[in-house]
Amino acid sequence: MNPEAGPLRFSLFTLFPELLLPFTQEALLGKAARQGLLAFDVIQLRDFAGNRHHKVDSPPAGGGAGMVIRVDVVERALASLPTPPDEVILLTPAGQPFTQRLAEQLSERQHLALLCGRYEGFDTRVERLATREVSIGDYVMMGGEAAAACIVEAVGRLRPGVIGDAESHRADSFSSGLLDYPEYTRPPVWQDETIPEVLLGGNHAAIERWRRDQALARTLARRPDLLPNAGLSPEDSRTLLALGATVEQLQHWHAPPPPSPKRRRRSPSSSPL
Ligand code: 6GU
């Protein structure tokens, strides 16, 4: 990526700016903003209510509980940006799952707008103002702010210079598609648990192989669903067999992943929604 392109800008639209400000001001994201690597605007949706009471919501058409955020408010809020963003991301549990792959794609953009809902949600016509809808997992939260914080954290750290070399190396280790290997530091013995000999021996090739094997063992035990996309080498396969994986499982993990629903061709008989 071209660092001349300037900072990655996040425009975060919310009814609760105080929830998001710390993520944009503290720790590594705050430092990156001060260095000009990232830029944040936290924008109060209420400022675009267009009425004296700053009211952004109305009861749902057709009746029912709760309140719904008006589409015209969101339209005016987005129109207030000096330039149109590359993406307008609507945060909703009904969105596409947020993954490391999507984080990588978003980190290549220059300007991302994120829309955080509250209450019963947005008028569905807000979808027409969005380039995509994103969910951070299969559970329901009371608003999109925590999801926006997750996205800013995962995307921001992928921009050059935002995290140090050490962490950047670890990032590669997750991007490998496996869970991370375990780390140890002083003291050498704690509650009868010692640091593995290999880590104290200074044989860097042996340490590298041990870490790969640990990553494979943890992924096999905790998240076997990640293995089909992990790009396993023949040596990895031997390790997994030794760890108790079956030949059938290995064949499954080496099979090319199924086509994504978007790319699969619709058969003439399959009916649309
Ligand atoms: Cl993006 N918003 C809300 N309210 N709940 C969620 C979510 C988003 N992603 C998972 N659960």
Q: How far is CA 57 from the centre of its chain?
A: 28
Task: Let me know if residue 169 belongs to a domain.
Answer: no
pLDDT at 269 (0 to 100): 52
pLDDT at 270 (0 to 100): 46
| Mean pLDDT score, 98-106 | 97
Whether residues 47 and 147 share a domain: the answer is yes
Residue of 136, 139, 151 to test ligand 1 pocket, by largest number of atoms within 8 Å of CB: 136
Q: Which one has a higher pLDDT value, 20 or 175?
A: 20
The residue range of the domain holding 248 is 189-253
Report the share of the chain in percent with pLDDT over 70: 89
pLDDT at 175 (0 to 100): 76
172 is catalytic: yes
Task: Let me know if residue 181 belongs to a domain.
Answer: no
Task: Let me know if residue 171 belongs to a domain.
Answer: no
**Ligand 1 pocket residue status of 140, Cβ below 6 Å:** yes
Task: Let me know if residue 178 belongs to a domain.
Answer: no
Q: Say whether pLDDT at 17 is over 80.
A: yes
CATH number of residue 210's parent domain: 1.10.1270.20
Q: Comparing 11-25, 40-54, 152-166, which segment has the lowest mean pLDDT?
A: 152-166
pLDDT at 202 (0 to 100): 96
Q: Say whether pLDDT at 154 is over 60.
A: yes
| Mean pLDDT score, 88-111 | 97
**Ligand 1 pocket residue status of 136, Cβ below 6 Å:** yes
pTM of the model: 0.91
Q: Which atom of ligand 1 is nearest to the CA of 117?
A: 4
What's the half-sphere exposure (Cβ side, CA atoms, 13 Å) at 141?
17
Whether residues 129 and 224 share a domain: the answer is no
Q: Which residues of 208-247 are buried (b: 16+ CB within 10 A; e: fewer)?
A: eebbbbbbbbebbeeeeeebbebebeeebbebbeeeebee
Torsion angle, CA of 41/46/52/55, rounded to 10 degrees? 170
Q: How far is CA 124 from the centre of its chain?
A: 23
**Ligand 1 pocket residue status of 137, Cβ below 6 Å:** yes
Q: Which one has a higher pLDDT value, 130 or 169?
A: 130
Q: For helices 145-156 and 27-34, give the axis angle rounded to 10 degrees.
A: 60
Q: How far is the CA of 142 from the centre of ligand 1 (A)?
A: 8
| Mean pLDDT score, 132-145 | 97
pLDDT at 4 (0 to 100): 52
Whether residues 131 and 206 share a domain: the answer is no
Task: Let me know if residue 140 belongs to a domain.
Answer: yes
State phi, psi for 65 to the nearest 5 degrees: -75, 160
Q: Say whether pLDDT at 171 is over 90.
A: no
Q: How far is the CA of 122 from the centre of ligand 1 (A)?
A: 13
Q: Say whether pLDDT at 265 is over 90.
A: no
Whether 38 contacts 8, CB under 8 Å: yes
| Mean pLDDT score, 219-224 | 98
| Mean pLDDT score, 194-203 | 98
How many domains in the chain?
A: 2
Task: Let me know if residue 130 belongs to a domain.
Answer: yes
What is the total residue count of the chain? 273
Q: Say whether pLDDT at 273 is over 90.
A: no
Q: Say whether pLDDT at 170 is over 70.
A: no
CATH number of residue 34's parent domain: 3.40.1280.10
Name 223's Cβ contacts closer than 8 Å, sequence gap at least 6: 179
157 is catalytic: yes
Q: Say whether pLDDT at 262 is over 60.
A: no
Whether residues 196 and 150 share a domain: the answer is no
Residue of 20, 141, 145, 151 to test ligand 1 pocket, by largest number of atoms within 8 Å of CB: 141
Where does the pLDDT of residue 260 fall: very low under 50, low under 70, confident under 90, or very high at 90 and above? low
Provide the residue type at 213 as one letter: D
Q: Which residues on adjacent β-strands are paired with residue 114? A: 12, 89
**Ligand 1 pocket residue status of 60, Cβ below 6 Å:** no
| Mean pLDDT score, 55-61 | 96
